[in-house]
A and B are shown apart, each in its own frame.
Chain A
Amino acid sequence: MIGPLIRKEFLQIRRNAFLPRLIVLFPIIIMCVMPWVMQMEVKNIVVDVVDIDHTVASQRLIQRIAASNYFIFGGQRATYAEALKDIEKGKADIILEICDGRYLIAANAVNGTKGSLGSSYLSQIVAGSDEASYLEEKSWEGSVATLLLYNKHQNYKLFMIPALLAIVMMLMTGFMPTLNIVGEKEAGTIEQINVTPVAKWAFILAKLIPYWLIALFVISVCLLLAWLVYGITPAGHVGLIYLLAMLLAMFFSSLGLIISNYSDTMQQAILVMWFFVVCLLLLSGLFTPTRSMPDWAYATTYVNPMHYFIDGVRTVFIRGGGVVAVAHQLLALAAIGLVTGCWAVMSYRKNS
């Protein structure tokens, strides 16, 4: 019974003027453009220097700032107020004032990360330039070695590519099913299906399976492009990434169908889905670490499949973790996926 239904879904996707192109082009565009956009890496910070001392040391310091790849030397200003004007106009991000051998760093902290990271980089340079005093100090601070594991070159793309996998999966397997059932409702074909003896689970499953296969295709394209364009390959086993992705697809496609079942118009369905997607995404730890969240927000991550996926896929992709490392995430994703799947079947009503 389910065979013809699945065939129908595929035919409909193929016949659509837009969907096949979307399925192929979307992951390609996302993978080619987004890693360049999603740079939260702090660089190209413009530093204005207010050098009141005009000593040799301060000149050397300016040279060091200009040479650093984090900073761009914005120019010298005569007074602090003048430099502040630059910040207000958006021409500078940080002011370094050198006065009587003391340093004042004033950073524009509207973007908190940029402000704090920029000022701490700058203070490192300032501290380093004070070589004379620095060498005298017998502090052990200087001898601290930091070993960055997994992402030695601090490549932000390596951090973001697993996140992109998550975003692509979410958009592709979440939004297409959302439009599906509500579209049949608007076209009136759902009534014809409802008077046939087709089982609820068969109808829903037939709608889900094509999206899972699409997810499989999309994830392959993404991994391939990551390798071809950026030379980035997963550190762990590829199979695990596929497994995680399919479990996530199971959740999102079911969620899409649930929303579609409850909605009357496409506009409504899309807005509701969008709301859920934004919330799930922001609370998943994709952009910011979950452990920085307040307790109530952290509590939501226990039921957020996106959180489990991000955690799991980063562990496998970047850190090279094995099955043991992500067992917890796999189980949680499977459980959540199963619950939403059942809900999707239950929320589809053939008889009112």
Chain B
Amino acid sequence: MYAIEVKNVSKRYKTVQALDDVSFSANKGEVFGLIGPDGAGKTSMYRILCSLLLPDTGSAFVDGWDVVSQMREVRKRVGYMPGKFSLYQDLTVEENLMFFATLFGTTVDEGYDSIRAIYSQIERFKNRRAGALSGGMKQKLALSCALVHSPRVLFLDEPTTGVDPVSRKELWEMLLMLQERGITIMASTPYLDEVRCCGRVAFLDQGKIRGIGAPDEILEQFREVFMPGRPASVIPSLLPSPLSEGNSNLQDEGTNKPARNEAGRETTDPSRTGCMGDGSSVISVSHLVKAFGSFRAVDDISFTVQKGEIFGFLGANGAGKTTAMHILTGLSQPTSGTGKVVGYDIRTEYEQIKRHIGYMSQKFSLYEDLTVAENIHLFAGIYGMKKEEVERKMTELLRQLKFEEHKDDLVGCLPLGWKQKLAFSVSIFHEPGIVFLDEPTGGVDPATRHQFWELIYAAARRGITVFVTTHYMDEAEYCDRISIMVDGKIKAMGTPDELKKEYGQPDIDGVFTLLARQATRSSD
């Protein structure tokens, strides 16, 4: 008997065929990955399997029970964490967990073992309201809530979006532990390293199953989707940095790397932009502190960012990245410390700072009820750009993004990846001195991330400084310099190569894991 069995399931919404004759099955105790780009129909599949949605045709069985006719039995046996799951913001961390434990007929103590690895990281905040947690910590709490009971079959819809790499590893270790206890897990994820943790994966695209098999086979078979332009030989390892290995054979094979190297832009090459060599700093902060009550979200950080740099601002969830970014962008005042951004004081001249920066936040921040062109006009207008200039630049931009025919589409109707690219383009439309990107590629599929980074390089080539936070360690390797923030402090800073050498790790992922693990221990 299969733990999950799907036979010829189709589901159609008014104009969209969400699922088209989908069939697959997963064995008991298997970790089964459901992967595919945005809007492929993954969420519909989960909902059908959880008996939340009725399929138009076909049938599906979970743990041997029919999801259509035996709804009650199915619901007793499954656990489900939806993609846009949000906690009860006004309940504390502990109350949230207790509520979900009772909901699933268990207690926090009983289920503690299955969530220890993740919950222990947020347990010290257990009396804080969930609404006051940072984005990644919320996700961890949500995961704890979903895992506190041991269902027969567990459905996880992109559970690690916005979660830092260390915690992602811990989560997957936990999932594998659950697997050993005979729990079947079906999960989807945009991270390739996570895909590799699955026993088998199904690749879903436009409502159709394109292939089912071992992760490496599928990634290989559809590598133009998952590893845009990457040669097959690189797949087993994490993506190497195009910068650090700029002269390696891999790079020479050509088409794989984002467009940056072609422009000859390297950290060590002073000639790449006109204004790089003068060493003028765009950001310089010293002893910056932001405290909320007795909690120091940002704890005495100092650093400088040079003009034209791509600066990666890494850190675990809740390390204080977003708080620091809010201070730099003039959204909030520091508790103490001084700093200058594009030459203006962050305490007193924050309105001038805003004139010269671009910003793209975690939350998608264009107006969904305006069209592409209207959004561009709005933000260009706010920065006081001339009408003819706006028209000219907009045509150019839309051509570059291949967005011409979507000029008058509502932004809300665009796929997530497109929205992100558009949001970035809008944030640098007024040619700011520096652009702040707060996890710009969260939840985006690999192909789109690749395109996104090409946009970032193009901006950097024009002399725009880029200040970016990310949880994708391959992206971190693309940066000129990175800093790793842990518990409100900057623990390491330098070029990716320097850091790798300093900590004796093969890649940034290793460096990050090392530092973040240290911190977790020290804070306990």
Contacts and interface: CB of A to CB of B under 8 A. Distances in A.
A and B touch in the complex (CB under 8 A): yes
Interface stretch (B77-85, B151-159, B295-303, B363-371): B363-371
A11 B363 CA distance: 22
A164 to B, nearest CB: 31
Contact of B332 (A3, A7, A193, A351): A351
Interface string A51-83: 000000000000000000000000000000000
Contacts of A3: 381
Contacts of A193: 382
Interface string B334-350: 00000000000000001
Interface of B: 329-333, 350-352, 354-355, 357, 359, 361, 363-370, 374, 377-384, 410, 436
Contacts of B382: 1, 4-5, 193, 196-198
Contact of A195 (B357, B367, B378, B410): B357
29 contacts: A1-B384, A4-B378, A7-B378, A8-B367, A8-B370, A11-B370, A11-B374, A12-B367, A15-B369, A15-B370, A15-B410, A187-B368, A188-B364, A188-B365, A191-B331, A191-B363, A192-B361, A192-B366, A193-B382, A195-B329, A195-B331, A195-B354, A195-B436, A197-B355, A197-B383, A351-B330, A351-B332, A352-B331, A352-B332
Contact of A351 (B331, B369, B377): B331
Contacts of A198: 382
A189 B378 CA distance: 13
Interface of A: 1, 3-5, 7-8, 11-12, 15-16, 187-189, 191-198, 350-352
Nearest to B385: A4
A195 B359 contact: yes
B377 A195 contact: no
Given A7-B378, A351-B332, A196 B354 contact: yes
B381 A197 contact: no
A192 B365 contact: yes
A194 B354 CA distance: 8
A192 B366 CA distance: 8
Contacts of A192: 359, 361, 365-366
B331 A12 contact: no
A189 B355 contact: no
Nearest to A199: B351
A197 B332 CA distance: 14
A103 to B, nearest CB: 65
Contacts of A195: 329-331, 354, 357, 359, 436
Given A188-B365, A191-B331, A195-B359, A4 B381 contact: yes
A351 B333 contact: yes
A25 to B, nearest CB: 21
Contacts of A15: 369-370, 410
A7 B381 CA distance: 10
A22 to B, nearest CB: 16
Nearest to A352: B332
Nearest to B364: A188
Given A188-B364, A192-B359, A195-B331, A12 B380 contact: no
Nearest to B390: A4
A194 B332 CA distance: 10
Contacts of A4: 377-378, 380-382
A340 B354 CA distance: 27
Contacts of B381: 1, 3-5, 7
Given A188-B363, A192-B366, A352-B331, A5 B378 contact: yes
B419 to A, nearest CB: 13
A351 to B, nearest CB: 6
A1 B367 CA distance: 18
Given A1-B382, A8-B378, A188-B361, A194 B366 contact: no
- Considering the complex of A and B, which 10 residue pairs feature the smallest CB-CB distances, nearest first? A4-B381, A188-B363, A192-B365, A195-B359, A197-B355, A15-B369, A197-B354, A195-B329, A8-B378, A196-B382
A189 B382 CA distance: 14
B350 A351 contact: yes
A3 B374 CA distance: 13
Contacts of B330: 195, 350-351
Which of B377, B410, B436 has the largest number of chain A CB atoms within 10 A? B377
A300 B357 CA distance: 48
A188 to B, nearest CB: 4
Which of A4, A187, A188 has the largest number of chain B CB atoms within 10 A? A4
Which of B359, B367, B374 has the largest number of chain A CB atoms within 10 A? B367
A5 B384 CA distance: 11
A4 B373 CA distance: 12
Given A1-B384, A197-B351, 12 more contacts: A1-B382, A7-B381, A8-B367, A8-B370, A8-B374, A11-B369, A11-B374, A16-B369, A188-B363, A195-B359, A197-B382, A352-B333
B338 to A, nearest CB: 16
A351 B347 CA distance: 10
Nearest to B359: A195
B69 to A, nearest CB: 37
B517 to A, nearest CB: 32
Contact of B370 (A1, A12, A194, A196): A12
A1 B364 CA distance: 23
Contacts of B357: 195
Contacts of B333: 351-352
A273 B350 CA distance: 33
Given A1-B384, A4-B381, A352-B332, A191 B361 contact: yes
B519 to A, nearest CB: 28
A77 to B, nearest CB: 61
B227 to A, nearest CB: 32
Which of B329, B330, B365 has the largest number of chain A CB atoms within 10 A? B365
Contacts of B369: 11-12, 15-16
A191 B370 contact: no
A351 B348 CA distance: 11
Contacts of A8: 367, 370, 374, 378
Nearest to A191: B361
A6 to B, nearest CB: 10
A187 B367 CA distance: 9
A194 B357 CA distance: 12
